[in-house]
Amino acid sequence: MSLNHKLADFIPIQNIILDAEAAACPQFPDPVGMGVEIEIENATGVRLTEESSAYWGIKDDPSLRNNGKEFVFLAPKSGRNFMHAIELFNDMVEAANIKPVLTTRCSMHIHINVSDMTANEAINLFMLFLLFEPALYTVGNKDRYHNTFCVGFTHQPNLLYSVGEVLYSDNIHSFLKMVNGWFKYTGFNFAPISQQGSVEIRTHQGTLNADDIILWARLLNCITVYSKNKTTNEIMSLADIGMLQAIKQVFPESLQEYVFCPALDTYWEHSTRNVRHIQLMRDILINNKNFRLVEEGEEIDNIMEVL
């Protein structure tokens, strides 16, 4: 079976929880279902209200200290519903009698629902992430590029080549095998697809700021929508049209200023190179199935090393 099959056909149906209402709004004109995980420390004063308990749950997290907790969506939300859930979180934080603390151990993860997408479209989303990776890490906090819990893909070249191998195979089972073997602690994590039908974006630092959370979700919503509407070759061709044109094609004018940043300007060539590595691996395998471009552990040039 090809990569054009819907991922929902290969995920246990009881694990797929969708937003009952895709509520479009000016900030999310074409809303995508997303889940949020926010890690904070000194969290004892942040309490669920009757209304927020319909949107949020609280989990213990052993990686955190000082009464650290993880606040998570109970189910994906989209558009206006997403924004309301974030407003409720903001209200909980402001009402806390003991103010929570953010440390370098804290982060915010976004889960993007891809169960309604094909495997090809999920790979498109990954390649768009790669293309704008320097900008996304800058928005999320560039120091997280070297964080061992969300490393950038210059540190994981063989993951890039595994994507090229899947594209060459055009086989949904090869895709699912890659997903099940994916290294979790990367900025873009494929692994949750097999259990809950989502990919996880791990690049953002911990935050209690509702505006920051909504901006981050809007950026990710844009690349998700674009990945659904283009072919894989069209996504790859963005690497050839120049940075400004690529930004204009993918993001609305209201978000372009956040993507066009010194990091992306400086490292555009390196960023496009990651996409071309995938394309090259796919094309080389057409002629030689056993060809490998790098040895295990070898790294591509580090695009964020001097930020």
Q: What is the pLDDT of residues 220-256, one digit of tens each?
A: 999 999 999 999 999 999 999 989 999 999 999 999 9
With the C-alpha atoms ordered 196, 198, 199, 205, is the resulting torsion angle positive or negative?
negative
What share of the chain has pLDDT > 70, as a percent? 87
Q: Is residue 2 part of a domain?
A: no
188 burial type by CB count under 10 A (0-12 exposed, 13-18 middle, 19+ buried):
buried
Q: Is residue 113 part of a domain?
A: yes
CA distance 239 to 245: 10
As a whole number, the mean pLDDT across the chain is 86
Q: Is residue 200 part of a domain?
A: yes
Q: What are 172's two structure tokens? A: 């949904």
Q: What is the CA radius of gyration of the chain?
A: 19
Q: Please say if the pLDDT value at position 104 is more than 90.
A: no
Give me the domain span that covers residue 78: 7-287
Least confident of 63-77, 201-215, 252-266: 252-266
Q: Please say if the pLDDT value at position 291 is more than 60.
A: no
Residue 71: beta bridge partners? 38, 58
Q: Which of 235, 294, 232, 243 is nearest to 271 (CA)?
A: 243
Cβ contacts of residue 307 below 8 Å, gap of 6+? 134, 138, 142, 145, 263
User: Residue 20: its pLDDT value, please?
Assistant: 52
Q: Is residue 58 part of a domain?
A: yes
Q: What are 208's two structure tokens? A: 């209690």
User: Residue 15: its pLDDT value, please?
Assistant: 53
More confident residue, 65 or 10: 65
Q: Is residue 294 part of a domain?
A: no
Q: Is residue 251 part of a domain?
A: yes
SS3 61: coil
Q: What is the pLDDT of residues 163-221, one digit of tens each?
A: 989 998 999 999 999 999 999 999 999 999 988 899 999 999 999 999 999 999 999 99
Number of structural domains the chain divides into? 1
Q: Is residue 65 part of a domain?
A: yes
Least confident of 98-112, 213-227, 229-243, 286-300: 286-300
**CATH classification of the domain holding 220:** 3.30.590
Q: Is residue 63 part of a domain?
A: yes
**99-116 b/e (C-beta count within 10 Å ≥ 16 → b):** ebbbeebbbbbbbbbbbe
For 4, the enclosing helix (H) or strand (E) is: none
Cβ contacts of residue 150 below 8 Å, gap of 6+? 107, 144, 185, 186, 187, 202, 203
